[in-house]
Every structure is written in structure tokens, then in C-alpha cells.
């Protein structure tokens, strides 16, 4: 073989090596979930729920669509004709104690007439609903058995974004299905879900997976698969799981008392924007800004004030306003909770609040009324005085009403028609003229902090102090 052939051969070999090495390295980097599934899937259960439906609901030859029903899935995809007398839906769950206590999602067993639990070895049990908590979407079931396999509890606080996780459940009734993905984000809140700080993943979750466990690579359960974000009803790459520590806390209360008691603080909160952080002198936006303190609430009986920025709760860092309600809700009423707050012009303070108990009664919302504009301010604000109707509806006795907002610093701050400006930099706004006076004395180079009533909510906005008009 001549030198040219040898060089060509070596060159091809090196090229092939370059192609092979990345693939093998990628293979070594991908986790193997087979042992995890073999070891821990026995503690995951399939849950079948029966609910009564009126006979008149079946007006056509085929039953209405129910995405959780395997019968409906088979009928729609394989032309299997069926007409059930009851609504059957499926979910998942997992065993937390050898004597048969099971965690699942509350929406899986909501309004159930009969709950049937099937294990991986095909044993079936009729389950009793011990308790259900809709706020957290957690329910506790009990089956009569002993010596059952159980899951291992992990620590969701140690989860890292980008870490591999595995879900086991019964999508469309296909028992013990395993799907994998990564943690996409932590501490997510969803509309009307103030008391759960979700784990977001890209693990494929479909109808029937709800209530099933989310595992880390050590085989520990770190979450309860609860819901998906979807525009089609099917999986679109965004799934949410309830952290297991919150689920176990709820489960323990349901077992002990049959209901859940939550701590209540009595404040409204908002995130700290970059402008507000600048106004407060914080180097980065962080924490939960106390926008309002409800009268006669636990917070009102403490030294916590509107305008305080909560940075820590019981030693846990508060990065966003959504972090705080979930932590307070998991605290028992009567807890002497320690808050680390940043107070404008006073710096860090420690405030202790004795938590009350959260009521189930929804708050009443009242829309503000517009008043007659009386003058236009150079920040682009059209202002007016409060009407007697506004004072009654909003339960306030001072402030200046925002009638209109033109282009300018006020619109940039987020002010809207209908807002009522209550304070400027902690100073009370008596009326529109008083607001003019306070804004005329804004500190140069530093935004003014406005306390604003918007409907029945109170919030803070930062009004830039620039070239006024």
C-alpha cells in the first residue's frame, strides 16, 4: 500500500471516529429509566371514576366525547360503537403508605359515585375518598389492603431547571406508561391558582396522567402531575406538577381532619418591577411588594405595612410575589411567621405576624366609577375628585381619580383611567390639587412611588421623574 493510500485510510478512519464519538457520547449522556420504572412503577395506580349522567344527555347514537375515557378513545379511533349509561373517566395516583393511602388529583375524583383503583399486578380495590382540596387539586384515597409498595418522597426544592424527570401514569387508560422530559421552570403560578407553586416540565402528559407521580433520576417522587397548557386539549410541551412537599402536607391534613386549614395573611401583593426597584434603591427587582393590607386582618394587627417588600418568609427567599401565598397557605393558622422585609428609606426590617385562617368565601369585587375631569396634568393625566359613589364602592375617603391618560410618563408607569391615586412616596393624596403638589416635589433622578387603587385591588407604580410636560 503506497503512502497516499495509507494517508487516505488514516484520514477516513479519523473522519469516521469524529462521527462516532459524538453519537456515543450523546448516548452515554442520555439517562436510562428502565431500572427506575421496574423498581417504582408498582406503587403507581390506575384510577377509574364513575359519575352519573342524565340519560337525556345521549341524544345521538354515540356517546359524547370524554377525553379521559378509554372507551371513548377506542370508539373515536377504531369505530367501536358504545353508549355508556355513566360517565367514566380515568386518572392516576400513587401509594404513600403500605396500608393503602393514595395521593391523586382532586379533579380526578370530583363528584365521583364510585372510585376503582387498579394496581400493576391487576388487583382491584374500591377506594374511599378520605378528603379533597380543590385549591391545591389534591385528594387522598384509601383502599383496604396491607403490605403495599410505596413511593419514595423527594425534595422538590433541590430540583434544577434542565434536570431529567419521569412521569408514570395511565394516559387514555394505558396502564403504567412512562414518559420523560426535563424540568422547564420552577415556581410557576397559574390563573386562579394562588396557593400552588407549580413545577413546569416538558414531560408528555395526556388525559389519564393526572394524579400520577413525577420522579427524579434517583427514583424519588418530586411532584404530582396535575395539568397541561394546551390550545388543542392534547399535550403541547408544557405540563405542570404540584410539588410533592405541598401534596404531602395537604394529604396529611386530609387524613387528620378531612379538610385543609391554611394560613391567612390578609394582604394583596404585586411583583417588583425594575422601575420600582430603582425607586426603592434595590439593586435588582425581587421580592413581593405589599400593595395593600386588609382591615382587621392578621397583617393589619402586625407591623407589616403597604409598601414593604417581602424578601424572606420563615427563612425562605421570596423572589416573586407568587412565591409568598403558597408558603403562607401551607403554614398552620396561629403560626408566628417571621418576615424579612425591605422598607423604603428604612432598609431591612424583621416583622412577625400571627397568621389567621383562610376563609373559603370569595372576595367581592366592585368596579370603580369615573368622575368628571377637572384638570389635565403635565404628566399626561386627566384628574378628577372622588365622587360619593366611588367613596362608598371602593371604601376609601381620599385620593385623586384618574379620568384619562395621554402619552407620557403616567402611561409609561402603567396608570389607567379609573385608577385612584392614594399616596405619593408614602404621603397621603387628599385630592387632585394635593396630588399636583406632591408630584411637584418629586426627588430629582428618582421615580416617585404611587400607591393606586384599581377596582378593589391596590398596587404600587413607579412614575419616572423626567422631562415633564
Q: How far is CA 160 from CA 13, 118, 444, in A?
A: 40, 33, 43
Catalytic residue among 72, 133, 137, 319: 137
Q: Indicate the SS3 state at residue 73.
A: helix
Packing angle, helices 244-257 and 323-330, rounded to 10:
30
Catalytic residue among 210, 268, 321, 331: 210
137 is catalytic: yes
One-character DSSP codes across 294-333: -TTSTTTTTT--TT-EEEEETTEE--STTHHHHHHHHSPT
Residues of 170-184 as b/e, b for ≥16 C-beta within 10 angstroms? bbbbebbbbbbbebb
CB 461 within 8 A of CB 402: no
CB 50 within 8 A of CB 114: yes
Residues in the chain: 469
Catalytic residue among 67, 97, 107, 110: 107
DSSP at 356 = E
Q: Cα(first)–Cα(last) distance of the chain, in Å?
A: 87
Q: Indicate the SS3 state at residue 16.
A: helix
336 is catalytic: no
CB 242 within 8 A of CB 191: no
Separation CA 438–CA 461 (nearest Å): 15
Separation CA 86–CA 71 (nearest Å): 12
Q: How far is CA 167 from CA 38, 205, 213, 222, 236, in A?
A: 13, 8, 6, 10, 16
HSE-up of 236 (CA within 13 Å, CB side)?
8
Q: Which residues face 124 on adjacent strands?
A: 118
Closest CA to 132 of 264, 263, 253: 253
40 is catalytic: no
Q: Which residues are catalytic?
A: 107, 137, 210
Amino acid at each position: 500500500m503506497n503512502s497516499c493510500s495509507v494517508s487516505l485510510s488514516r484520514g477516513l478512519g479519523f473522519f469516521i471516529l469524529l462521527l462516532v464519538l459524538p453519537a456515543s457520547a450523546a448516548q452515554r449522556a442520555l439517562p436510562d429509566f428502565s431500572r427506575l420504572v421496574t423498581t417504582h412503577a408498582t406503587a403507581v395506580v390506575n384510577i377509574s371514576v364513575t359519575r352519573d349522567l342524565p340519560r337525556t344527555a345521549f341524544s345521538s347514537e354515540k356517546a359524547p366525547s370524554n377525553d379521559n375515557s378509554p372507551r371513548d378513545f377506542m370508539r373515536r379511533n377504531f369505530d367501536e360503537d358504545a353508549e355508556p349509561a355513566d360517565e367514566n373517566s380515568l386518572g392516576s395516583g400513587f401509594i404513600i403508605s403500605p396500608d393503602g393511602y393514595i395521593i391523586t388529583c382532586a379533579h380526578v375524583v370530583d363528584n365521583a359515585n364510585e372510585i376503582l383503583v387498579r394496581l400493576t399486578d391487576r388487583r382491584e380495590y374500591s377506594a374511599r375518598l378520605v378528603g379533597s382540596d380543590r385549591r391545591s387539586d389534591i385528594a387522598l384515597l384509601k383502599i383496604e389492603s396491607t403490605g403495599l409498595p410505596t413511593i419514595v418522597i423527594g425534595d422538590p426544592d433541590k430540583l434544577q431547571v434542565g434536570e431529567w424527570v419521569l412521569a408514570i401514569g395511565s394516559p387514555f387508560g394505558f396502564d403504567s406508561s412512562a414518559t420523560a422530559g426535563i424540568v422547564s421552570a420552577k415556581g410557576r403560578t397559574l390563573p386562579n391558582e394562588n396557593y400552588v407553586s407549580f413545577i413546569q416540565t416538558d414531560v408528555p402528559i395526556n388525559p389519564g396522567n393526572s394524579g400520577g407521580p413525577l420522579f427524579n433520576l434517583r427514583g424519588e417522587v418530586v411532584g404530582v402531575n396535575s395539568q397541561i397548557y394546551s390550545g388543542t386539549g392534547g399535550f403541547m410541551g408544557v405540563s405542570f406538577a404540584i410539588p410533592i412537599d405541598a401534596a404531602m402536607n395537604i394529604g396529611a391534613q386530609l387524613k387528620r381532619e378531612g379538610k385543609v386549614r391554611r394560613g391567612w395573611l390578609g394582604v394583596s401583593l404585586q411583583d417588583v418591577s425594575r422601575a420600582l426597584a430603582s425607586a426603592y434603591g434595590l439593586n435588582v427587582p425581587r421580592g413581593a411588594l405589599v400593595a395593600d393590607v386588609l382591615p382587621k386582618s392578621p397583617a393589619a394587627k402586625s407591623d407589616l405595612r403597604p409598601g414593604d417588600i417581602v424578601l424572606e418568609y420563615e427563612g425562605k427567599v421570596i423572589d416573586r410575589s407568587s412565591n409568598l401565598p403558597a408558603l403562607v397557605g401551607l403554614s398552620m393558622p396561629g403560626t408566628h411567621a417571621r418576615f424579612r422585609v425591605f422598607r423604603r428609606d428604612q432598609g431591612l426590617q424583621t416583622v412577625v405576624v400571627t397568621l389567621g385562617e383562610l376563609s373559603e368565601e370569595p372576595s367581592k369585587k366592585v368596579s370603580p366609577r369615573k368622575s368628571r375631569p377637572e384638570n389635565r396634568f403635565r404628566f399626561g393625566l386627566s384628574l378628577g375628585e372622588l365622587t360619593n359613589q366611588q367613596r362608598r364602592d371602593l371604601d376609601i375617603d381620599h385620593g385623586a381619580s384618574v379620568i384619562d391618560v395621554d402619552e407620557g410618563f403616567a402611561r409609561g408607569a402603567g396608570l389607567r383611567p379609573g385608577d385612584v391615586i392614594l399616596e405619593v412616596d408614602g404621603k397621603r393624596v387628599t385630592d387632585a390639587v394635593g396630588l399636583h403638589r406632591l408630584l411637584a416635589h418629586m426627588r430629582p433622578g428618582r421615580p416617585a412611588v404611587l400607591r393606586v387603587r384599581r377596582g378593589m385591588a391596590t398596587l404600587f407604580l413607579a412614575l419616572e421623574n423626567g422631562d415633564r410636560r
